[in-house]
Amino acid sequence: MKYVFIIAGVLLIVLTIAAGLIYVERRLLALFQDRYGPNRVGPLGLLQVIADVIKIFFKEDWIPPFADKRVFIMAPGILVGSILLTFAVIPFTDTFIVLDSNIALLFFLGNSSLGVYSIVLGGWASNNKYSLLGSIRGSAQMLTYEVFMGLSLVGVVMMADSFSLREIVEAQRGGWFFLPQFVGFVIFFIAGLAETHRTPFDIPEAEGELVAGYHSEYSGMKFGMFFVGEYMGVTLISALIATLFFGGWLGPGFLPPAFWFFFKTGFFICMFILIRASLPRPRYDQLMEVGWKVLLPLVLLNILITGAVIIY
Amino acid sequence: MISILRSIWITFLHAFHKRETRGYPEKKPYLPPRYRGRIVLTRDPDGKERCVACNLCAAACPVDCIALQSTEDGDGRRYPEFFRINFSRCIYCGLCEEACPTYAIQLIPDFEMAEYDRQNLVYEKEHLLINGQGKYPGYNFYRVAGVNMGVKDTGAGENEDPPVDLKSLIH
């Protein structure tokens, strides 16, 4: 019974945050661009979320006649499903965790690779040239960031001596990992941007070039699923950064552990939005070049030095 | 690398800048006195219509949005029987105001004329006429010009001034 409550709680929290990010992102982007953002619907525009949700539910959910129907319907579900599954291993606090697995980190990496199927299949099933180009870019991007994303976490695993996220947090009682693993942190952040397809790495979406990339043909709540999936991805990567490098729920004792976890996660969500507001989009060959020629050697060097220090 | 961090920092600093947004419906914008907005027909200081139905505004209008029909009152003075401006065509160029010899037609600083029904943008004389004198208070066309009514010469009446010297720029 306790598990049912925890699962329901995690689902509630994650979906609420993902929906709330619709508002938060628009307000923050406006803040960085000298505007106000949505401030019409309700106090401070807070009801904007509800207005958007009502709107998107009542939109016509159109499937193009030339699309591959079953795959077309499945694709947004894969994205949301793979990200929601990953939240099962995120330790919100010491006890508020669905599954304290000893392969939690590998579970996350595996699920994040599954997420890209959503983009590839969505673009493929749309039977549209722009969508397909978006999918191709998405898979090219995946081939780049997956490698240094996984390797950037190896240093943390070596220092914590565990794949379990709860134990990784416990190992940071002596000091958070972002100082000794600073290179790993920065590279994981970059990989996280690419993983969630956020600007500057929204290359598969690229609305200036590819209409809307892989989800050009999607409408109604199926488009909404891609949207929610993106926000949940942002939340997931932020939660992981907080967990792996900034001590998760650890923090001064005058506030509950859950507060520290959400405070850190929220901070990195804001960083995601700040970066979206400031950086332009590179070409995807530029991303691949930086990924393979700069970040991969850096991350290997990081592993080498971390291992040498641990052995010494 | 440094430039990327720098642009992120500069973007962050924008959070503390002054907002560019104008809160329009709540905060009205400043409109200069000569702003060309809604067109009105003004009255002279005696409260009579200034318009003499000369049709110059309708002739000057580049989009032909003004329509009027002249008629005469008992004294032989002309006035418009109807005066119609189709604001869905009007381009607010102000040429009608420049053409008007009696300062009757004027553009005023008001642009809030949106309607749900296009037909409602056609303003009749009762919508156009205002009770004030607009931008030229105290001006009365018939004091300085107008037809001879057969009683006295123009400008010789009790409430009249000598006619304007048409050769002079100052009047």
| Predicted local confidence at residue A8, as pLDDT | 87
Task: Give the distance from residue A98's alpha carbon to the nearest chain B alpha carbon, in angstroms.
Answer: 36
pLDDT class for B148, splitting at 50, 70, 90?
Answer: low
Does residue A286 sit at the B interface (CB-CB below 8 Å)?
A: no
Task: Give the distance from residue A274's alpha carbon to the nearest chain B alpha carbon, in angstroms.
Answer: 7
| Segment 18-57 of chain B within 8 Å of chain A by CB | 18-21, 23
| Predicted local confidence at residue B84, as pLDDT | 92
Task: Give the distance from residue B112's alpha carbon to the nearest chain A alpha carbon, in angstroms.
Answer: 20
β-pair partners for B70:
B80
The residue among A16, A19, A11, A33 whose CA lies nearest residue A273 is: A33
Q: Mutate which of B2, B9, B10, B14 to test chain A, going by most A C-beta atoms within 10 A?
A: B14
Is A278's CB within 8 Å of B7's CB?
yes
Q: How many CB pairs under 8 A join A and B?
A: 32
Instruction: With a cut of 60, say whether residue B53 has pLDDT above it.
Output: yes
pLDDT tens-place string over residues B161-170: 777 777 776 6
pLDDT tens-place string over residues A204-239: 777 777 877 788 888 888 888 888 888 998 999 999
Alpha carbon distance A197, A205 (integer Å) = 8
pLDDT class for A7, splitting at 50, 70, 90?
Answer: confident
Over residues B12-39, mean pLDDT: 89
Domains, chain B: 28-136 (3.30.70.3270)
pLDDT tens-place string over residues A163-197: 888 888 888 888 788 888 888 899 999 888 888 88
| Predicted local confidence at residue B120, as pLDDT | 92
Instruction: Determine, yes or no, domain membership for A7.
Output: no
pLDDT tens-place string over residues B90-105: 999 999 999 998 899 9
Instruction: With a cut of 70, say whether residue A92 has pLDDT above it.
Output: yes
Over residues B68-82, mean pLDDT: 86
Task: Give the distance from residue A144's alpha carbon to the nearest chain B alpha carbon, in angstroms.
Answer: 19
Instruction: Determine, yes or no, domain membership for A240.
Output: yes
pLDDT class for B150, splitting at 50, 70, 90?
Answer: low
Instruction: With a cut of 90, say whether residue A59 has pLDDT above it.
Output: no
Instruction: State both tokens at A241.
Output: 């950064």
Instruction: Determine, yes or no, domain membership for A1.
Output: no
Task: Give the distance from residue B29's alpha carbon to the nearest chain A alpha carbon, in angstroms.
Answer: 17
Give the burial string for B77-103 (b: 16+ CB within 10 Å, else e).
bbbbeebbbbbeebeeebbbbebbebb
| Segment 98-127 of chain B within 8 Å of chain A by CB | none
| Predicted local confidence at residue A223, as pLDDT | 87
Domain of residue A218: give its range: 63-311
Looking at the structure of chain A, the number of domains it has is: 1
β-pair partners for B72:
B78
- Name every chain B residue with its beta carbon within 8 A of the beta carbon of A45: none
Instruction: Determine, yes or no, domain membership for A286.
Output: yes
- Name every chain B residue with its beta carbon within 8 A of the beta carbon of A36: 19, 21, 23
Instruction: Determine, yes or no, domain membership for A5.
Output: no
Question: What ipTM was predicted for this assembly?
Answer: 0.78
Task: Give the distance from residue B25's alpha carbon to the nearest chain A alpha carbon, in angstroms.
Answer: 11
Is B11's CB within 8 Å of A34's CB?
no
Is B8's CB within 8 Å of A31's CB?
no
* Cα dihedral across residues A224, A109, A240, A184: positive or negative: negative
**Residue A252, C-beta contacts closer than 8 angstroms, at least 6 positions apart:** A260
CB A265 within 8 A of CB A14: no
Determine the residue of chain A that is closest to B17 in CA distance: A34
* Residues composing chain B: 171
Instruction: With a cut of 60, say whether residue B171 has pLDDT above it.
Output: no
The residue among A219, A200, A220 whose CA lies nearest residue A208 is: A200
Strands B122-123 and B78-86: antiparallel
Determine the residue of chain A that is closest to B19 in CA distance: A34
CB A103 within 8 A of CB A163: yes
pLDDT tens-place string over residues A100-132: 888 888 888 888 888 888 888 888 888 888 888
Q: What is the DSSP letter of B104?
A: -
- Select the residue of B8, B14, B23 nearest A34 (Cβ to Cβ): B14
Does residue A53 sit at the B interface (CB-CB below 8 Å)?
A: no
Is B17's CB within 8 Å of A34's CB?
yes
Instruction: Determine, yes or no, domain membership for A45.
Output: no
**What does the mean pLDDT of chain A come to?**
86
SS3 string of chain A?
Answer: CHHHHHHHHHHHHHHHHHHHHHHHHHHHHHHHCCCCCCCCCCHHHCCHHHHHHHHHHHCCCCCCCCCCHHHHHHHHHHHHHHHHHHHHHCCCCCCCCCCCCCCHHHHHHHHHHHHHHHHHHHHHHHCCHHHHHHHHHHHHHHHHHHHHHHHHCHHHHHHHCCCCHHHHHHHHHHCCCCCCCHHHHHHHHHHHHHHCCCCCCCCCCCCCCCCCHHHCCCCHHHHHHHHHHHHHHHHHHHHHHHHHHCCCCCCCCCCCHHHHHHHHHHHHHHHHHHHHHHCCCCCHHHHHHHHHHHHHHHHHHHHHHHHHHHHC
Does residue A35 sit at the B interface (CB-CB below 8 Å)?
A: yes
| Predicted local confidence at residue B141, as pLDDT | 82
| Predicted local confidence at residue B32, as pLDDT | 92
Instruction: Determine, yes or no, domain membership for A254.
Output: yes
- Name every chain A residue with its beta carbon within 8 A of the beta carbon of B18: 34
* Cα dihedral across residues B26, B31, B36, B38: positive or negative: positive
Instruction: Determine, yes or no, domain membership for A151.
Output: yes
